[in-house]
Each structure stands twice: as C-alpha cells, then as structure tokens.
C-alpha cells in the first residue's frame, strides 16, 4: 500500500526546511573563525609600545585560527555535498510520488497522459479497423473471382448437359472397306475448319473398333429430297432454300473449298426452317499452287459439264449442281433421271443446258435464275456471291416460311412408318 498523497507532501515540506537550515548552521560555525582572524590582523597592524610582545601574540595565535578555518571549510564542503545528495534523494522520491499519484489517479496530472493515451489508442484502433476492412475487401474480391469462375464452370456444365439431352447424328464410316481413307480425313478436316450457320455443325469424332464415328448436329427435318418426293414447293419456298444454300456455298468458296457433291440428298432441313449443306466427303481444298481440280467426282446427274469432260474446274461446279437442284424442286426429279450414270454424263457433256419441260408455268425471275446457274461455259456462270444479289433471291421471305412445309412432310413420313 502506498501512503496517502497528503502525508507524502507533508514529509516533502519538512525535508525541504531541514535541508535549507543546514547551510545556515555551517556558515554559523565558519563566521566566528573569520571574525577571530580579522581581529588578529587588526592587532598586528595597530602601533604598540612594546612591539615585540604585540607581534608575538598574533604569530602564536595565527596558525591555530588558520587551522580552524580550514576545518570549517572542510565541514562546509561536506555539508554542501550532503545537501546535494539529500536534494537528489528528494528529487527521486518526488518522481516516485508523481508516479504513485498517476497510478492512484489522485492528482490532476493524470488527465493529460490519459487523453494522450486515449488519442493514441483511438488512432491505433482506426488503423487496425482500416487494415481489417482492406483485408475483407481483398478477400471479397477473391471470393467474387472464385464465384465467377465457378459460375462459368457451371454454365459450361449446363451447356454440356443440354447438349447431352439433345439428339445428334452419327455418321459411321467403315475404315476396313474404305477404298480411299483420304476422303474420310478430308471430310473430317473440312467440317472442323469450316463452321457456318448454313453448314451442318461438326461436334466430335470417335474411333470405334474399325469404324470412324463422325458426330454432327441432328437435322430433324430430314433432307430436301424427302420434301421433293412428298410435295411440290412454291417459288417462294424454292427461293428460300436456294438462298440458304448459296450462303453456305459463298462461305465455302471464300475459304477456297469446293463441295463437289451438291444435291438434294445433301441439303438437310430442320423444323425451325434451317437449311444446311452436308456431306463433305468429296470436297476439295484449293490452294495457290492448285486453284483448280480435274478429277471426275460427284454424283453423275448433278455434275457440271467441265467435270464430266475432265477439264480443270473451280468453285462454280457447285453452282451448276445447285441449278440442277432448282430443276429438281420444280419438276420433282433431275434431268436424265431415267438414264444410267454413264449415259447421264454423256448427255450432260453434249446436250447443252437442261430445260424445264413447262417453263411458262413459272416466273421469268425463276427461269432467269436457273439460266444463270446452268451456263455450260463456266466463265459465264454466275458465282454464289453474284446469285445472292439476283432478284429471285433478294425478294425471298425468311426461313420461317419453310417451317409449315418441313413439319408437314415430317408428319407424313412418321405416319408412313406406322
């Protein structure tokens, strides 16, 4: 227990009084000795009748007085040293009392250190709060980033799940009985490298035993050949189909690819009105070194004259084939259908441009469109890009106009299976 602050202050005052009296006592002892010495000096200086006796007395008493003075000075120094030590001790005790007063919260001196302490504590607390808030924000950003990544992964999974739930088409190719494996690889590469809304979308491929499985999007509306075999198409429907095919061909030709097997069986439909080119097994990739082909490939009744005759040819062979598809849509069969493949090729090479059997039943716009496609001279034949600007194509309705036609044919096919 510390003594009460009032007792400490009272002791402090008593010590100060005692210390202040010590120099007075020391000087009181020193003062008589100085007076005695002064009197002796005066006696020596005064004239006396008996000079010898006067000098002898002071000379005998002087050493004793000097000795007393030295002793008094020593005591004075010791007293001063003692006083200084007492002062130091007193100052130390005073410092201790101040500390005790602060701890006991008994003096007003506590107010200043406490306010400083509170200010420093407040600043420190604010700094810690800011640091904590910064860490929380950084953590929140990391969590947001992780959440975004997780959400993206979830979207991918949902898309994959949705794709799994959809039907796909699988083309199975027997590699053992294949005469030219190069054609299969060619089809795979063309489908992978060329993606367009008017081309059947390639999804994946698998090697299963001796078979190559090509996984493609499923066209639930069947082929254009199915529609032609079941019903007649209006000119608007013919124009819509032709436009979609031309858009696909324009994309292929812009990428220096020739389809080389455009025919109604390779034009697939979907119940939403989509029209897409399929089967790229006979397609050819043109290069700067080989910008034309001369191999006789394709399906005889749809082959261009330059292909049949073995002349070098380019992308416009696909335009001829599309013109034959146009005649097929009008008359529900291709020219020379009753002929053998060889005879059909001979007729194509020598017979000139195929003609409609009843041209007057159809518009001049349709007849001119077919004429632009079926020019025997390849140089005079229009390109896909030019035909997209033809009046017969530019006046066409959207593909949604094909939906009723495609759905009705699909239902008839399903009914026939029952």
Q: What is the dihedral of CA 409, 366, 301, 350, to 10 degrees?
A: 160
| Residue whose tokens read 């030295």 | 70
394 within 8 A of 365, measured Cβ to Cβ: no
Q: Which helix (H) or strand (E) holds 44?
A: helix 5-45
Measured between alpha carbons, how far is 190 from 389 in angstroms, rounded to an integer? 27
Torsion sign (Cα): 131, 135, 138, 144: negative
In a 3-state reduction of DSSP, which class is residue 203?
strand
In 3D space, the residue among 169, 360, 197 whose CA is nearest the CA of residue 274 turns out to be 197
Q: Is 171 helix (H, G, I), strand (E, B) or coil?
A: strand
Query: Buried (b) or exposed (e) across 361-381, using 16+ Cβ within 10 A?
Result: eeeebbbebbebbbbbebeeb
Cβ–Cβ under 8 Å, residues 205 and 215? yes
Residue 92 tokens read as 């130390």
Give the integer Cα–Cα distance in Å for 353 and 348. 8
Taken as a whole, the chain contains a residue count of 418
Catalytic residue list contains 318: no
Q: What is the C-alpha separation between 333 and 326, in angstroms, rounded? A: 10
Rounded Cα distance, 219 and 237, in Å: 18
**Given the residues 261, 279, 318, 368, the one annotated as active site:** 261
Whole-number Å distance between alpha carbons of 187 and 174: 14
Q: For residue 333, with 0-12 CB atoms within 10 Å meaning exposed, 13-18 middle and 19 or more buried, which class applies?
A: middle
Which residues are CB-contacts of 61 (< 8 A; sequence separation ≥ 6)? 40
Q: Which amino acids are annotated catalytic?
A: 261
């Amino acid at each position: 227990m510390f003594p009460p602050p009032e007792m400490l202050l009272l002791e402090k005052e008593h010590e100060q009084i005692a210390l202040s009296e010590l120099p007075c006592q020391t000087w009181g002892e020193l003062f008589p000795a100085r007076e005695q010495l002064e009197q002796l000096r005066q006696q020596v200086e005064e004239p006396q009748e008996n000079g010898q006796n006067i000098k002898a007395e002071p000379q005998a008493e002087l050493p004793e007085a000097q000795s007393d003075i030295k002793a008094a000075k020593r005591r004075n120094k010791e007293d001063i040293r003692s006083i200084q030590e007492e002062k130091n001790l007193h100052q130390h005790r005073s410092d201790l009392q101040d500390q005790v007063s602060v701890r006991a919260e008994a003096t007003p001196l506590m107010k200043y250190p406490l306010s400083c302490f509170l200010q420093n504590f407040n600043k420190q607390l604010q700094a810690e709060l800011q640091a904590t808030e910064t860490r929380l924000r950084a953590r929140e950003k990391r969590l947001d980033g992780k959440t975004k990544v997780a959400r993206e992964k979830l979207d991918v999974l949902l898309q994959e799940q949705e794709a799994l739930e959809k039907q796909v088409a699988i083309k199975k190719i027997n590699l053992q009985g294949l005469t030219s494996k190069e054609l299969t690889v060619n089809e795979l590469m063309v489908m992978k490298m060329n993606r367009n809304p008017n081309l059947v979308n390639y999804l994946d491929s698998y090697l299963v035993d001796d078979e190559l499985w090509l996984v493609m999007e499923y066209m639930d509306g069947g082929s254009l050949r199915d529609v032609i075999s079941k019903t007649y198409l209006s000119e608007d429907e013919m124009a819509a189909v032709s436009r979609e095919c031309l858009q696909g061909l324009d994309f292929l030709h812009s990428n220096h690819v020739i389809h080389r097997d455009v025919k109604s069986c390779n034009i697939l439909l979907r119940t939403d009105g989509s029209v897409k080119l399929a089967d790229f097994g006979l397609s050819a990739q043109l290069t700067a070194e080989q910008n034309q082909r001369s191999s006789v490939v394709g399906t005889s009744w749809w082959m261009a004259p330059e292909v049949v005759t073995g002349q070098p040819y380019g992308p416009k062979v696909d335009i001829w084939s599309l013109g034959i598809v146009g005649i097929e849509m009008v008359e529900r069969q291709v020219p020379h259908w009753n002929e053998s493949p060889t005879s059909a090729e001979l007729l194509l090479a020598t017979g000139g441009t195929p003609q409609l059997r009843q041209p007057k039943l159809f518009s001049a716009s349709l007849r001119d469109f077919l004429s632009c496609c079926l020019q025997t001279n390849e140089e005079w034949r229009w390109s896909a890009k030019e035909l997209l600007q033809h009046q017969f194509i530019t006046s066409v309705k959207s593909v949604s106009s094909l939906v009723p036609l495609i759905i009705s044919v699909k239902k008839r096919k399903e009914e026939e299976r029952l």
